[in-house]
Amino acid sequence: MIRVISLLLGLLVSANLLASDDWQQYKSRFIAYDGRVIDTGNNGISHSEGQGYGMLLAVAYDDQDSFNQLWRWARKTLGRHDLPLFSWKYDPSVKPHITDSNNASDGDLLIAWALLNGGRKWQNSNYLNASRRIRNAVLDNMVHEYAGHLVLLPGLNGFTGNGYIDINLSYWVMPALLAFAAEDNQPKWRALADSGEQLLALAKFGDAQLPADWIRLTNKGKMTPSPHWPTRFSFDAIRVGLYFSWAGLGDDPALQSIKQFWNAGGAKPPAWIDVRTSEVAPYAASQGILAIKALLSGQSISADLSADDDYYSASLLLLSKLAEKQ
């Protein structure tokens, strides 16, 4: 179960412990003038996840001007009109730009956590109030009991069916859940984090015994890789190691198979593996994934941003450094 951590989660490390060059590069390459975070590996779209990552990094690097730009763009462009949640996808190449108004609960959690951190750091009640509204909306709309588990729906629409739901364990942003539990004195946040641990321990598929990116949970409690997505331990599920480590849970036994898979691949493990067929990616893991591997192994993360890093790899690298320093 969740262990007591020696620091107050959500209060990020001071900027002087981090390499400011990384942040300057990140801003120049991935953040537009108006505060839109650009997913360079995904045809230049933007999404709530990217805004949340950018806002978290802005707090960590004590860059309130950038934080305000990022938050303004997220609020005005992605903010939904019915709930204080966010449409997950913005595509600059088509009109209307919001091509999918469904939310993504991990993006909602990341933005709420960044606002909580920013509100504390800069003593800004507007940030704190906005974070609280998002948190309440997530609890009221996205967290449900199902098949004996407390689950986080990935979005408001499209993830439930006749006798099943599809979940994504990388949407459990564990350090955010613990920060919210402390801030709100709300046991449901802690229970959701505990449930994430329990579900990860059960999500062991194929010879490698790894979690798939997307998992189908039936009303009987059975878990299988969801047939609606590639049955891979891939670019979603790799974040589980980052979030668990960041929450002080890097030694959780449920992470052992992830560590074994990455260690078996040596210095350059494959980027993904199909948990059903054991087919592996024909290309190596990115620098961002390698940073999570180092974090789980207790190794120092010494890599700097490189020209080869796209938005996602760069984000994982900087966030892993943040988790390491915290």
Closest CA to 288 of 235, 251, 213: 235
Q: Is 183 a catalytic residue?
A: no
Q: Report the relative pairing of strands 149-152 and 87-90 from DSSP bridges.
A: unpaired
8 Å CB contact between 295 and 323: yes
Closest CA to 111 of 150, 72, 140, 142: 72
8 Å CB contact between 166 and 214: yes
Which residue, chain included where needed, has tokens 């948990």? 275
Residues constituting the chain: 326
Neighbours of 65 (CB within 10 A): 9
Whether cis (ω within 30° of 0) applies to the bond prior to 96 is yes
From the candidates 22, 39, 63, 106, give the one annotated as an active-site residue.
Answer: 106
From the candidates 22, 39, 49, 183, give the one annotated as an active-site residue.
Answer: 49
Q: Is 106 a catalytic residue?
A: yes
Rounded CA gap, 212 and 93, in Å?
31
DSSP state letter for 81: S
8 Å CB contact between 208 and 257: yes
Rounded CA gap, 126 and 129, in Å?
5
8 Å CB contact between 249 and 3: yes
8 Å CB contact between 78 and 90: yes
**If DSSP codes are grouped into helix, strand and coil, which group holds residue 93?**
coil
Phi, psi of 67 (to 5 degrees): -55, -45
Which residues are CB-neighbours of 51 under 8 A, at least 6 positions away? 36, 37, 70, 71, 73, 74, 78, 86, 107, 110, 111
- Compute the chain's Rg from CA coordinates: 18
8 Å CB contact between 139 and 176: no
Active-site annotation, residues = 49, 106
